[in-house]
Amino acid sequence: MTSPPANRQRTMFIVTAVLAVLILVPSGVGFVNKLFEFYGVIKGEASGAFAFTPVVNYLLASMGFLCLMLWAIGHGMFHDIERPKQTMLETERMLDEQRATEVDS
């Protein structure tokens, strides 16, 4: 134990914050810059709008699935994540047993 836990936590926070700033700020600036460039392409060139259609297609599809994913998380769809694979086999077994009983009788 060379340093107390409080100091260690503080150090970890500072390192994380510095790394976050170093990574996220340039990435964010680059991304926003690209968005402005994209806007410029659409607005500045007569045929620039053709770039717009596939990107909007993708964003619409992805946004829809992002919403679905958030909904699924909110409704506990990923709780006990391995359970459905057992339930599914159990259901199949019951259906087959019932069918076999009907055929026998």
Partner 1 sequence: MADENSKTDESTPATLPTHEELVDERLVAWYFLAALAYLFISMSGGFLMAFQLIKHNPLNGIEIFSPGRWRMVHTNAIAYGFLANAFLGMLHWVIPRLTLRPVLDRRLSLFIFCAWQFVVVATAVGLLLGQAQGLEWGETPVWIDPVAQLGLLLVAINFMAPIMKQKGPMYVTLWYFVAAFIWTFLTYAMGNFVPEYFVSGSSAGAVGGLFIHDLVGLFVTPLGWGMMYYFVPILLKKPIWSHGLSLVGFWGLAFFYPLQGIHHFLYTPIPMFLQYGAIMSTIAVELVVLTVVINFFGTLWGDGRQFWDNLPIRWFYTGMVYYFLTCLQCSLQVTLTFQALIHFTDWVVGHAHLVMFGVFSMWLLGVMTYLFPRLLKQEWYSQTLCEWHYWLSAGGMLVMASDLILGGLFQGWSWAALQPWDASVEISQPFWAVRVVSGLAIFGGQLAFVYNLYKTWQLSRVRLS
Contact set with partner 1 (CB under 8 A): 34, 38, 41, 47, 49-51, 53-55, 57-58, 61-62, 64-66, 69, 76-92, 94-95, 98-99, 102
The nearest distance, CB 93 to partner 1, in angstroms, is: 9
Cβ distance to partner 1 smaller for residue 17 or 61:
61
CA–CA dist 10, 56 (Å, integer): 43
CA–CA dist 95, 88 (Å, integer): 11
Cβ distance to partner 1 smaller for residue 2 or 47:
47
Cβ distance to partner 1 smaller for residue 15 or 49:
49
CA–CA dist 37, 29 (Å, integer): 12
CA–CA dist 26, 8 (Å, integer): 28
